[in-house]
Amino acid sequence: MDVKAFGIVYGQTSALPYGSGFEWLPASGTKTFPVCRAIFVEAKANSSKDTLSVELADAPNQNFILNNLQGDQLLALACTAILSGTVNGVFILY
């Protein structure tokens, strides 16, 4: 099944572009939102590894901790909340 998005028809196996999103910072605290398509972890100045705690769309009220995040990473996750983290910041993408 083809998908029409942004005036272009994409084949079933095509990677659809991200249409919108917002930034989350650890100082923002817990944030809930409609199911996203991906999370982009911002790059950092040093080589330390961080964590991010999320709630996945298919496992409500369960805390999943993503470890060893290095920054400048795209994580294809369908989640509905970010609970906490030590990352510089992330972008929630739709």
1 or 57, higher pLDDT: 57
Q: Please state, rounded to an integer, the average pLDDT across all residues of the chain.
A: 88
The string of pLDDT tens digits covering residues 30-46 is: 999 999 999 999 988 78
| The pLDDT of residue 67 is above 90 | yes
| The pLDDT of residue 22 is above 70 | yes
| CA-CA-CA-CA torsion sign (83, 85, 90, 94) | negative
Give the separation between CA 89 and CA 82, rounded to whole angstroms.
11
pLDDT at position 43 is: 87
Give the separation between CA 67 and CA 31, rounded to whole angstroms.
19
Give the separation between CA 82 and CA 90, rounded to whole angstroms.
10
In percent, the amount of the chain with pLDDT more than 90 equals: 65
Specify the pTM: 0.80
| The pLDDT of residue 14 is above 60 | no
